Structure 1
């Protein structure tokens, strides 16, 4: 539910956001990827060419793919993405992807645009609201009550997506688009019983931890093959079979079906069965190696799962930490749910300013108290984003500026409910920007007291001591996951491009990219700046040493980018204090991650 509400809140300007992949399905395992789809608005696609802009052409192309023929409309940007083939204009999937390349996400990876760290895959796609003819047989295909007719109708009503990737090794792959049923697949997985979902999770663990780790088997099978197999087995078996006591039977049924598919080099797509997902992919020596591995694992029956570190480690952790499993289930699930949310970054990855009124309407329109609380939690982050866009210094007079200050403060105070520190640190930034240094000191001191070692840093896994604390302290379970995050979570502070709240000393760093600073680093940096402007020399020198110590201890610094921005803040402090520093020691070598290179080059250009 947190994931779904985040998708709704972070859809903007008509561009729908769909979190797909393992995370979007609610199944975040070790090494799970984060795939985000963005549906481009105002592009009409249909199989009725006389009515709309793009016609779906599936003639002379592999099932599951299509060409998008341009029928009418003279949008110049769209025409530039078309290629002329025998007098017909076709939308190029390659040119379509290129328009979304940026300095932050400069890499094309299959149908996706990927950021420099490889953390996120963004797939920009097109939406056809009507169901396509190639998938019509799926609607009428007989089954044993799964999926239900209502579920089928919901999937058909959504239509399909077109993802910019062509048939591998095709001469015209530049003009081809893959037909995607991502939304329908998510709906099917959401309809799984507990046993179906557990079976799906176990199959993915077996693939990721065991099969793919075997020599010569990496990247031969993928998660989509597992999901497709689960769909077929779920359709074939009566729903009465999917019970907890039949989990091993269902798991082995799926495993044996995968072996059968590999043996016959045939894995039919669930919605378009004529599309063989194994076509020209698992052949020759690769097929032999994969079959040898699968048959060897099959000899172990369901016990092959214990070759996975995730399975064996979880079993040992349960025994070692808790002695027995009595009353363990609900408490441990609570800790695991917290761990999933804290490790994930996709829920908090978007920093677009979204209309406040729209968020309020989302909260008020839901009757469920639980869903409202989730929307409210997402809204606290959006409040901070809104604060970044409010001008707090203008030539319209003191009365206007005071009104803007109060409005910005109102939004930032609401954002303090998101986690333990980030909202308060933005309040401190507001006080600093308006020269209220003493007020800033009070907020910074309060924020620092919250940055204690038991806190959970977003984007990192829970340590054993943190898991133990969450397990033992009952108050968090009473509060629930969403309310607990306000007290136990720490998050990096992100200043979006052209932020009005970023300190002037860092303004140059948000001209091109958003700027991310770890919480304790920002506390010490703002403390230094306040003392500097108050001419408290001894105090700002102490703050400078505090930043140095924070970096050395990597105190709540989770990654390379956080360390780079911390070094950047340290370098700025040295420059302001007029102290010499060794460039090689305080600068990371990658100019992309450390804008102090740019700052120094600008300073050197004015040297006489």
Structure 2
């Protein structure tokens, strides 16, 4: 292979690599996340795991999440793998280990490891990895201690080269160790990982041979290169292109040798029987072409071209000097809000809700960051809502005193939730009041919500950064900003009855039905005025809802969630007796992106309308 030859414009030869690297670094911060954004993504997920683990323990299981999504990436293709195991199963590889722990109540499994391929039965082999890490100085000792104390898992996947006689062969999983290693990277190393992922997707995978390389191979190569030279002076923003290039050269060597050693067990060649023969030759030829181009091969990827073209076309291009220039306070809050609202997983039983709520005081006592604290606060608000409606679904005694006690308990829980959650959280109390026939109270809450939601500093769903956001809530704490300025979908879990009018949608659609707050406000107003016999205000609220759907530009009703919004308009028209209008709205719902998968429910409602129209005429 020829030496590196960077093909850049005349005024950007090798002496300008540092500048181009910094431009790439900043551009990737905008696309993949700044250090703060990546950190908050991880901390939100970590807090979710801490909360969910409490409920899982009650059922006698443990779980963890791995994959690029857990690592902090938010590509459309980012994967999220969940591994569940029984903590009562303990694995030993020789009988002498039996005495190391109390085996009462445990199922001890003896692992036979003789004559197995590298990567299937582990302890002796992995000792060399620990020694290598200590010799190389990466990861640092504290991270190494965390990895070794966490251990590894075995999963029921056999080697693809084993004989049929090894039917009970298992594979070692180092996914938790890999996640800890990625967390320990500095941001340049993390972005280099991102560069490799984008390069794989947009450049390497453009051919059949390139598709033989997977993201896991590239992550392994990055681990080897960081350990080979862990010096932070090398892994810095102005050296990002060089960091990519050393990884690319290692990839070339691995393909040339048909050997990609596993980072934890080097004897395990991950290319074995995979990159050989004619496929190997074609892949070598492809990589040779990129090598001859030098780091300019990145320009074959549209993402890199978009980021780097402004800097290459103008020597006067100004590079942002700090993270604050890349991400404003409003941008940080928008990202954090979106991350929180994507992770809204709630327990499905009353017992699990109580178990998690009981564990929250102990979680609060931990040394939590502001992101973890707010994630815990937000999760608490959602669990309180879930608990309240689970209690509401329980058949209450017909005795007035018993019903009153339960009702007050539910109302208090929902009010407490509104003090913890985002500004839209109060709507859940309105939903409960509607369920219990207190229509005037619903209308009062709807009025309060509409006034609060219309404040100019409230962050809705259009991703536009409101100018008055910083002026109004910028000096407040993160928790206060959430309670006063963050809008969230109202989520109806299909295991619980929230509104009888949405029965079909909850039964036929996705596990959770998210509804835009303004759509729900108008829906509640239509239904309450109708129940109260106030048809004038009912029709006005119906008109307001229709106007919102017809003229909103995505600020209050995102385009990817309009199937349920048009469905709700149709339901309201149906209740009010406007059958032709309901039919049109249901058909419009079918024309939207099927986010909620409610097409079957829509078909049922269209059938009901058509039947009523036939009976009427």
**Under a length normalisation based on structure 2, what TM-score does the superposition of the two structures give?**
0.74
Given the alignment, which residue of 203, 210, 215 partners 2:203? 210
The structure in which a higher percent of residues are strand is 1
User: What does residue 301 of structure 1 align with?
Assistant: 294
Distance 1:61 1:248, change over 3 A: same
Tell me by how many angstroms 1:338 deviates: 4.4
Tell me by how many angstroms 1:232 deviates: 1.1
Tell me by how many angstroms 1:397 deviates: 2.9
Given the alignment, which residue of 336, 345, 353 partners 1:350? 345
Contact 1:65 / 1:178 at 8 angstroms: preserved in 2? yes
Contact 1:162 / 1:177 at 8 angstroms: preserved in 2? yes
**Superposition pairs of residues 476-515 of structure 1, within 5 angstroms:** 478-479=475-476, 483-499=480-496, 502-507=498-503, 509-510=505-506, 513-515=511-513
Distance 1:490 1:370, change over 3 A: closer
Q: Does residue 537 of the first structure (1) align with residue 535 of the second (2)?
A: yes
Q: Does residue 24 of the first structure (1) align with residue 33 of the second (2)?
A: no
**Superposition pairs of residues 168-183 of structure 1, within 5 angstroms:** 168=160, 176-183=169-176
CA–CA distance in 2 between the matches of 1:209 and 1:487?
A: 41
User: What does residue 56 of structure 1 align with?
Assistant: 111
Q: What whole-Å deviation, never above 9, does each CA across 1:369-404 have from its counterpart, x for those lacking one?
A: 664344223323333222222227722533333333
Larger Rg: 2
Tell me by how many angstroms 1:526 deviates: 1.5
**Aligned residues, how many?**
534
CA–CA distance in 2 between the matches of 1:282 and 1:488?
A: 53
CA–CA distance in 2 between the matches of 1:218 and 1:431?
A: 59
Q: Does residue 425 of the first structure (1) align with residue 418 of the second (2)?
A: no
Distance 1:434 1:468, change over 3 A: closer
SS in 2 for 1:239: coil
User: What does residue 259 of structure 2 align with?
Assistant: 266
Q: What whole-Å deviation, never above 9, does each CA across 1:218-240 have from its counterpart, x for those lacking one?
A: 63222211211111112222435
- Runs of 5+ unmatched residues, structure 1: 67-130
Contact 1:495 / 1:510 at 8 angstroms: preserved in 2? yes
- Runs of 5+ unmatched residues, structure 2: 1-42
User: What does residue 323 of structure 2 align with?
Assistant: 329
Tell me by how many angstroms 1:433 deviates: 1.6
Distance 1:218 1:240, change over 3 A: closer
Q: What whole-Å deviation, never above 9, does each CA across 1:507-526 have from its counterpart, x for those lacking one?
A: 45445744332323222221
User: What does residue 444 of structure 2 align with?
Assistant: 442
Q: Does residue 222 of the first structure (1) align with residue 214 of the second (2)?
A: yes
Tell me by how many angstroms 1:4 deviates: 1.1
Distance 1:423 1:254, change over 3 A: same
Aligned-residue Cα RMSD (Å) equals 4.0
Given the alignment, which residue of 42, 56, 61 partners 1:13? 56
CA–CA distance in 2 between the matches of 1:297 and 1:480?
A: 49
Tell me by how many angstroms 1:163 deviates: 3.8
Distance 1:174 1:406, change over 3 A: farther
Tell me by how many angstroms 1:268 deviates: 1.2
Q: Does residue 138 of the first structure (1) align with residue 129 of the second (2)?
A: yes
The structure in which a higher percent of residues are helix is 2
Distance 1:367 1:61, change over 3 A: closer
Tell me by how many angstroms 1:339 deviates: 5.3
Distance 1:572 1:362, change over 3 A: same
SS in 2 for 1:491: coil
Contact 1:144 / 1:239 at 8 angstroms: preserved in 2? no
Q: What whole-Å deviation, never above 9, does each CA across 1:337-389 have from its counterpart, x for those lacking one?
A: 44544554785241215321212321133365664344223323333222222
Given the alignment, which residue of 15, 21, 35 partners 2:81? 35
**Superposition pairs of residues 339-378 of structure 1, within 5 angstroms:** 340-342=335-337, 344=339, 347-352=342-347, 354=353, 355-366=356-367, 371-378=372-379
Distance 1:196 1:542, change over 3 A: same
**Under a length normalisation based on structure 1, what TM-score does the superposition of the two structures give?**
0.75
